Structure 1
Amino acid sequence: MTNREILEKANQAFSKGDYEEFLTYCTEDTTWTYVGERTLTGKDKVREYLSAAYEESTFEIERYIEEGDSLVAMGWIKLKDNEGKILNYSVCDVWRFRDGKMAELKAFVIRD
């Protein structure tokens, strides 16, 4: 599979709320950096964050740009805040792949 196909399969699981399947597409030492917010290292930390932060979400990827072991995915996501209000965000995720798995994420998330 191409890196894009891997991410698309992973995102299908994510959109169903199946974070365990999503994590099968990640390396054990995956590192996720939400620029200006936090860095998560390893599947366990990512698992904890996903179950809390993305309890209810919808998203769409509008464009992919691929070069070498990197894939950029741009789009939007809607998330519930602590008060139950839906907030809209623009996202730009820069993924780095290693051995057919997602090894690193650098996420730029901006509230619309």
Structure 2
Amino acid sequence: MDNKTILETANIAITAGDYEGFLAFCTDDTQWTFIGDQKLEGKEAVRLYMAKAYSEPPKFMVENLIAEGNFVTALGKISMKDEAGKMINYMYCDVWKFREGKMAELTAFVIASKP
């Protein structure tokens, strides 16, 4: 699979609630940086984040998926519940760096949509 297809397949897993299926596409030392928020280092940190942040699977609407070299950029909208169970809508731009066919780094820009 090319990097774009890998990301699309991984996103199908996550929206189905198959977080381990998603993590299978990540390197063991994957790093996720949420700009202005937090940084996760390693697959276990991402696993713990997903268990907390995704009380139910998020809903994605990818508007653009741009692949170049070892990078895939996804722009779109995501909806997920907050800690109180309220559905929140966000706009996002995810920049994924791939290494040897796996997602190694994520730089995520996530902004809550105005109601």
TM-score exceeds 0.5:
yes
**How far off its partner does 1:10 sit?**
0.5
- Which residue number corresponds to residue 64 of structure 1? 65
The whole-number CA distance in structure 1 between the counterparts of 2:9 and 2:66 is 17
Residues 6-27 of structure 1: CA distance to partner in whole angstroms, max 9, x if unpaired? 0011011101111111001000
The whole-number CA distance in structure 2 between the counterparts of 1:100 and 1:71 is 12
What RMSD, in angstroms, separates the aligned Cα atoms of the two structures?
0.8
Uncovered stretches (5+) of structure 1, i.e. residues with no partner? none
Instruction: List aligned pairs for 1:92-111, cutoff 5 A.
Output: 92-111=93-112
The whole-number CA distance in structure 2 between the counterparts of 1:8 and 1:45 is 22
Query: TM-score normalised to the size of structure 1?
Result: 0.97
Give the paired residue count: 112
The whole-number CA distance in structure 1 between the counterparts of 2:111 and 2:3 is 25
Give every structure 1 segment of 4 or more consecutive aligned residues whose post-TM-superposition deviation is greater than 2 Å. Answer: none
- Which residue number corresponds to residue 48 of structure 2? 48
Instruction: List aligned pairs for 1:1-112, cutoff 5 A.
Output: 1-56=1-56, 57-112=58-113
The whole-number CA distance in structure 1 between the counterparts of 2:42 and 2:61 is 25
Uncovered stretches (5+) of structure 2, i.e. residues with no partner? none
Residue aligned with 2:83, SS: coil
